[in-house]
C-alpha cells in the first residue's frame, strides 16, 4: 500500500524534465565528439562543396558526376560527390558561387541557420534546438536543411499572409521538391487556395528562369536513379539513412504513404503550427526514397514546440542521441504526431481538434 502511494507521489513531469536535460547534455557531449571526429577525417562544409562547385561549373555538365567531383579535388577527392539539386535551384544558390568557398560556407551556415532558429522560435521551440545532434551535423556539413526547414516553418507560421507563405513554399520546393511532396494535400485540406496557386507559380517561375542557365531538366531526372544507386552502394551513407523506403524497401509505402497523407490532412485542419510542420516535413521524410539522419533537424523545432514539458517525446530524443540506427527516430516522430492528434491539441493558438472530429467544418 505504501509503495503504491509513493509511486503516485512521484512527480513524473519533473523526472521528464530532468531526463530531457540529461539527454541534451548528452547531445552537447556527442556534438563535441563529432566535431573532433569530422575535423580529423573530412573538412567542414563538405556537403556545401558540391553545391558551390556546381553553381560555378559548366551548367551543361552539371549532372556529370565524375566532372563535378573532379572540380572538388582541391579540397576532397576520396569519393564521388555529385550535384543533385534540380535546375530550379540554380537561380537561388548561384550567389554562393561568387564567393570564395570558406566565405560561402560561413555566410550560408550563418544566414540559413539564423532563418532556421528564428522560424523555430516562432513555432515556440526553445534554444535547446541548437544542441540537437542533427542540427549540429547540418551546421558542420553546410547542408541545405536549415534553409528548407526555415522557409517551411516561416511559411506555416504565416497563415494570415498566404501570398508570402506561397512564395516561401515555392522557393523551398524549387530547391528540394521532395520535402514539399505533401504540400498540395496540406493546402487543399485547409482550403488555402491562394497559397496553393502562389506556391505553384513561384516554383514554375524559378523553373522557367533556370532554362536560361543551360542546365537540363532531362539530365536531372536521369541523374536521380544514378544518385540513389550510388548511395545504396556506399555502406557509410546507407548506414546513416532514416527513410523506411531505403531500409526495408518500396513495400513500406503501403503503410507510410497513407499515414503521411492522413497526418497532413488532419494536422492542417488545426491551427497548431508545430503539428503542421511535423506532419508536412516528417511525412515527407517518411515517404522519401532517400533521407539521411541529419535531415531530422527539420522536425527538431516542431517536436520541441509540440511538447513543452517533455514526456512521450523523450523516446524521440533518446533515439536521436544514439548512433544512427535506421528510421527509428523518424517513426517515433510520426507516432508522436498521431498521439497528439488523438489526444487533442491543448495549447494556444489551437482549436481543440481531435481525430474523431474529422468532420468539423473549417472556420
pLDDT of residue 323: 63
Sign of the torsion angle spanned by Cα atoms 115, 268, 173, 138: positive
Exposure on the CB side of residue 292, measured as CA atoms within 13 A: 20
DSSP string across 234-287: -HHHHTTB--HHHHH-GGGHHHHHHHHHHHHHHHTTS--HHHHHHHHHHHHHHH
Burial of 10 (0-12, 13-18, 19+ CB in 10 A): exposed
pLDDT of residue 363: 40
Rounded Cα–Cα distance for residues 181 and 177 (Å): 7
pLDDT of residue 327: 84
Confirm if 237 and 292 have CB atoms less than 8 A apart: yes
- Helix-helix angle 314-321:12-41, to 10 degrees: 20
The pTM (predicted TM-score) of the whole model is: 0.87
Rounded Cα–Cα distance for residues 86 and 59 (Å): 12
pLDDT of residue 160: 87
Cell of 149: 526547414
pLDDT of residue 302: 93
pLDDT of residue 344: 72
pLDDT of residue 349: 37
DSSP string across 79-133: S-----S-GGGHHHHGGGGGS-HHHHHHHHHHHHHHHHHHHHHHHT--GGGGGSH
Q: What is the enclosing helix (H) or strand (E) of 146?
A: helix 145-157
Q: Give me the tens of pLDDT residue by residue for the chain, a chain 363 residues long.
A: 455 545 454 566 677 777 778 878 888 887 777 777 776 677 888 999 999 999 999 999 999 999 999 999 988 877 889 999 999 999 999 999 999 999 999 999 999 999 999 999 999 998 888 888 889 889 989 999 999 999 999 999 998 899 999 999 999 999 999 999 999 999 999 999 999 999 999 999 999 999 988 899 999 999 999 998 888 787 767 767 888 887 788 888 999 999 999 999 999 999 899 999 999 999 999 999 888 888 999 999 999 898 766 667 788 888 887 765 568 888 888 888 898 888 775 433 333 333 333 334 444
3-state secondary structure of 309: coil
Q: How far is CA 233 from CA 230, 246, 252, 357, in A?
A: 5, 12, 20, 46
Rounded Cα–Cα distance for residues 114 and 247 (Å): 33
Amino acid at each position: 500500500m505504501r509503495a503504491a502511494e509513493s509511486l503516485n507521489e512521484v512527480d513524473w513531469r519533473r523526472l521528464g524534465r530532468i531526463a530531457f536535460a540529461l539527454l541534451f547534455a548528452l547531445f552537447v557531449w556527442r556534438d563535441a565528439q563529432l566535431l573532433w571526429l569530422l575535423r580529423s577525417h573530412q573538412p567542414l562544409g563538405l556537403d556545401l562543396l558540391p553545391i558551390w562547385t556546381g553553381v560555378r561549373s559548366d551548367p551543361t555538365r552539371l549532372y556529370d558526376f565524375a566532372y563535378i567531383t573532379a572540380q572538388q579535388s582541391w579540397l576532397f577527392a576520396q569519393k564521388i560527390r555529385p550535384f543533385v539539386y534540380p535546375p530550379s535551384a540554380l537561380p537561388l544558390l548561384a550567389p554562393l558561387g561568387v564567393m570564395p568557398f570558406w566565405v560561402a560556407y560561413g555566410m550560408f551556415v550563418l544566414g540559413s541557420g539564423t532563418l532556421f532558429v528564428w522560424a523555430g522560435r516562432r513555432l515556440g521551440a526553445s534554444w535547446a534546438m541548437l544542441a540537437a545532434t542533427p542540427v549540429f551535423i547540418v551546421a558542420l556539413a553546410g547542408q541545405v536543411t536549415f534553409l528548407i526547414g526555415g522557409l517551411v516553418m516561416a511559411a506555416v507560421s504565416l497563415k494570415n499572409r498566404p501570398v508570402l507563405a506561397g512564395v516561401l513554399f515555392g522557393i523551398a520546393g524549387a530547391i528540394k521538391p521532395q520535402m514539399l511532396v505533401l504540400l498540395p494535400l496540406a493546402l487543399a485540406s485547409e482550403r488555402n487556395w491562394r497559397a496553393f496557386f502562389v506556391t505553384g507559380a513561384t516554383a514554375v517561375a524559378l523553373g522557367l528562369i533556370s532554362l536560361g542557365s543551360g542546365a537540363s531538366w532531362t539530365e536531372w531526372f536521369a541523374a536521380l536513379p544514378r544518385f540513389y544507386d550510388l548511395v545504396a552502394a556506399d555502406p557509410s551513407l546507407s548506414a546513416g539513412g532514416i527513410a523506411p523506403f531505403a531500409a526495408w524497401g518500396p513495400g513500406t509505402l503501403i503503410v507510410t504513404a497513407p499515414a503521411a497523407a492522413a497526418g497532413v490532412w488532419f494536422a492542417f485542419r488545426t491551427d497548431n503550427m508545430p503539428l503542421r510542420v511535423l506532419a508536412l516535413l516528417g511525412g515527407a521524410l517518411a515517404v522519401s526514397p532517400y533521407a539521411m539522419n541529419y535531415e531530422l533537424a527539420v522536425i527538431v523545432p516542431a517536436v520541441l514546440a509540440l511538447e513543452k514539458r517533455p514526456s512521450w517525446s523523450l523516446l524521440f530524443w533518446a533515439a536521436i542521441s544514439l548512433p544512427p540506427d535506421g528510421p527509428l527516430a523518424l517513426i517515433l516522430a510520426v507516432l508522436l504526431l498521431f498521439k497528439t492528434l488523438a489526444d487533442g491539441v491543448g495549447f494556444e493558438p489551437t482549436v481543440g481538434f481531435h481525430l474523431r472530429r474529422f468532420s468539423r467544418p473549417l472556420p
